[in-house]
Structure 1
């Protein structure tokens, strides 16, 4: 079944990003019928692979759709969930589900200084678009221990490239970043993406193209 799900997602440029069975007695979200889910498969992307599929989908729809990428993700992942008897969940669902914690458990990843999980192959150029919740357990192999690339990075260029020092040991200064991106001097960030994120040397082959980064920055800034 897992292989079939992976193939169905791959047709849209999406990936299965691992999964796990919930521990006995753990409070879990509900599955398709409303009973407690017993396993979860995470759905995401590496690089900008879904972008052409998303653009084709968007061509036939109103350009005023709010959160179009989220809408597309829900539609695609929802259809796959329906086919395989799962409940689809999105990172934007409320109450929010612990997607980052799930990802860390499923793939053995750790956060970078920017908060984005660092992947040993994709670097910072990956994302999670949804999850499939099943009411039965799935046979998973053991999660491999992965190298956390940030541990070997001495210079930390990801903390030295932002002109307003939005990222620091104190966390992310959301308001400072937002004001800069919206302001006169924020054009490089709006058109080419976060300078701190782009400064990371890892996973460069998966770096989002400028138009994809501009799309995300426009959404972030509410422009």
Structure 2
């Protein structure tokens, strides 16, 4: 099974490989993992696909997490691999460290991960822990290199800085009437030039913000 074969299986569900690496003993991957692939939404088109799925339509909680478990879990079974997810119960898998190890994501000026394709809109729906070693493409360029870094000044309450993320200030702003962060997504994430080229639609960002602001 090649990387392109796996990518084709993912594409049928509007998912894509967002990076990968060959884990070592201290990387926190499942035992026996030779290649770990990080999986994210393939934009544009992910949200339109996802909102047609039964998990979205059945009215039960956590539709995206349940859909991710079903779809990525099925692919993992077909590949005789193990699916790992960034949600659920602790101990949590070290997705932030895995993203950095992939060479396709970096700490941004506001410390959130920035991805070579998705920018500050990067999210991981899961990972595939494979028991065979795949040839991986070289890492992409860091989109922050040469960037004017508009993310540093985009937050209306200054909650995102190079030093820290002021979660109470962010939550307070989201609770205020008329804010567009809740309706359209975090302004700092939207300000990223790479985010703008990714194609994520506002309803998807609004959904994630509503989950954050429960």
Match of 2:43 in 1: 47
How has the CA–CA distance of structure 1 residues 7 and 181 changed in structure 2, closer, same or farther, with 3 Å as cutoff? Answer: same
Residues 1:75 and 2:70 are matched in the alignment? yes
Name the SS for the 1:149 alignment partner.
coil
Matching residue within 182, 189, 192 for 2:184: 192
- CA RMSD of superposed structures (Å): 2.2
Matching residue within 107, 114, 120 for 1:111: 107
- Between the two proteins, the alignment pairs up a number of residues equal to 212
How has the CA–CA distance of structure 1 residues 69 and 180 changed in structure 2, closer, same or farther, with 3 Å as cutoff? Answer: same
C-alpha displacement of 1:96: 1.0
Contact 2:111 2:161 in 1 (8 A): no
Contact 1:20 1:138 in 2 (8 A): no
Match of 1:66 in 2: 61
Residues 1:129 and 2:122 are matched in the alignment? no
Matching residue within 77, 84, 88 for 2:79: 84
**CA deviation profile, 1:26-65 (whole Å, cap 9, x unmatched):** 36443xxxx54333121112435321221111477421x2
Residues 1:211 and 2:203 are matched in the alignment? yes
Residues 1:176 and 2:172 are matched in the alignment? no
Contact 2:115 2:142 in 1 (8 A): yes
TM-score normalized by the length of structure 2? 0.87
Contact 1:167 1:173 in 2 (8 A): yes
Counterpart CA distance in 2 for 1:48 and 1:99 is 23
C-alpha displacement of 1:22: 1.8
Name the SS for the 1:152 alignment partner.
coil
Counterpart CA distance in 2 for 1:92 and 1:123 is 21
* Runs of at least 5 residues in structure 1 that lack an aligned partner in the other structure: none
Contact 1:113 1:158 in 2 (8 A): yes
Match of 2:26 in 1: 26
Contact 2:55 2:64 in 1 (8 A): no
Contact 1:21 1:137 in 2 (8 A): no
TM-score normalized by the length of structure 1? 0.84
Counterpart CA distance in 1 for 2:209 and 2:77 is 32
Matching residue within 195, 198, 221 for 2:213: 221
